[in-house]
Structure 1
């Protein structure tokens, strides 16, 4: 997440700087029922979303990410730990 700059757009709990405001805060992500407000919050969907959001939602402002599928699964596992609202 640090290497690809997720915090440039998203506020991430435990990260003091930067605190991106373009995308939504990731606080409570694990408890959210939806990804991008449109897709079920399931690991297999999240993995695709993390790698190439426009493939699921062409109008999204979230760009494709230069991460591997294994890295996306690791990021997804971390995001699911952010379950407090």
Structure 2
């Protein structure tokens, strides 16, 4: 019986620490975005056509080595767009088409990207995990 009493206090302390740590953890970020719409291959060509690589580094897009905006490496694994919007297909299309409506004054210009082009660009960016 004395062996059981010696084991009980450390077990209770361990259990209490586990409960406290579980209560203190933050809410996990939203799951990585998915886009089943759009054509990623076309999106990569459009990134080059619109000149996105002048400001961003974009993997597997020729001459996309810009340093003005953030690199878009592993974009598909990110939780947020511009630190403002949850990263999903609808929000990314909105950001690509009208970044000023999301973050007024942002350096990201309005390039006149169509809905279809924004969908395909988003589809490509979501492949970058």
- Deviation track 1:20-60 (CA, whole Å, cap 9, x = no partner) reads 00001110000000000111001101001001100111021
2:126 is matched with 80
Q: CA deviation at 1:67?
A: 1.4
Give aligned pairs, total. Answer: 83
| TM-score of the aligned structures, taking structure 1 as reference length | 0.91
2:88 is matched with 42
Please list every run of 5 or more consecutive structure 1 residues that lacks an aligned counterpart in the other structure.
none
1:71 is matched with 117
Whichever of the two has the greater Rg, that structure is 2
Q: CA deviation at 1:4?
A: 1.1
**Contact 1:12–1:27 at 8 Å: present in 2 too?**
yes
Please list every run of 5 or more consecutive structure 2 residues that lacks an aligned counterpart in the other structure.
1-46
Q: Secondary structure at the match of 2:110?
A: coil
**Contact 1:54–1:60 at 8 Å: present in 2 too?**
yes
Stretches of 4+ aligned residues off by more than 6 angstroms = none
Q: Secondary structure at the match of 1:46?
A: helix
Alignment partners' CA distance in 1, 2:77 and 2:101: 24
